[in-house]
Amino acid sequence: MTLVYSTDFGRACPGCGQPQAQCRCRATPRPAGDGIVRVSRETAGRKGKGVTVIRGLPLDDAALVALGKQLKAACGSGGTVKEGVVEIQGDHLDKVLGWLQARPEGWTVKRAGG
């Protein structure tokens, strides 16, 4: 029997039994992108509801979650971080583009799609 949850640290990796945040057995590195952060609006698979999607951020998972939280607060909306992609509920394309371009990291930010 493997440990999947502990009241001490929460979810555990079923493979190695370590806390999910510290798991190394299933941690797959994201492929290196081209250095461009792309912001787009998508409705596919969401019953017509639009979300603003940010791809290509050169951050690890913890920093990506923190950035997603800041973006959600800046847009006044909900959202999530999944598989290296930040999703913000609603059409906040212009606001997100401006916010990311104003960051001191100096990322190249482009609008993707129509």
Complete domains list, the chain, with CATH: 1-29 (no CATH), 31-111 (3.30.780.10)
**Tens-place pLDDT, residues 79-103:** 999 888 999 999 899 999 999 888 8
CA distance linking residue 75 with residue 1, whole number of Å: 44
Please give the Cα distance from 20 to 57 (Å, whole number). 22
Residue 114's pLDDT band (boundaries 50, 70, 90)? low
Segment 22-49 shows an average pLDDT of: 75
Calculate the alpha carbon distances from 55 to 11, 13, 25, 33 in Å: 27, 26, 25, 9
Q: Is the pLDDT assigned to residue 47 strictly greater than 90?
A: no
pLDDT at 13 over 80: no
Please state, in angstroms and rounded to a whole number, the distance separating the CA atoms of residues 88 and 96: 9
pTM of the model: 0.70
What six digits make up the tokens of 71?
């973006």
Under the banding of pLDDT at 50, 70 and 90, the label for residue 19 is: confident
Asked whether residue 52 carries a pLDDT value surpassing 70, the answer given is yes
Q: Which pLDDT belongs to residue 63?
A: 86
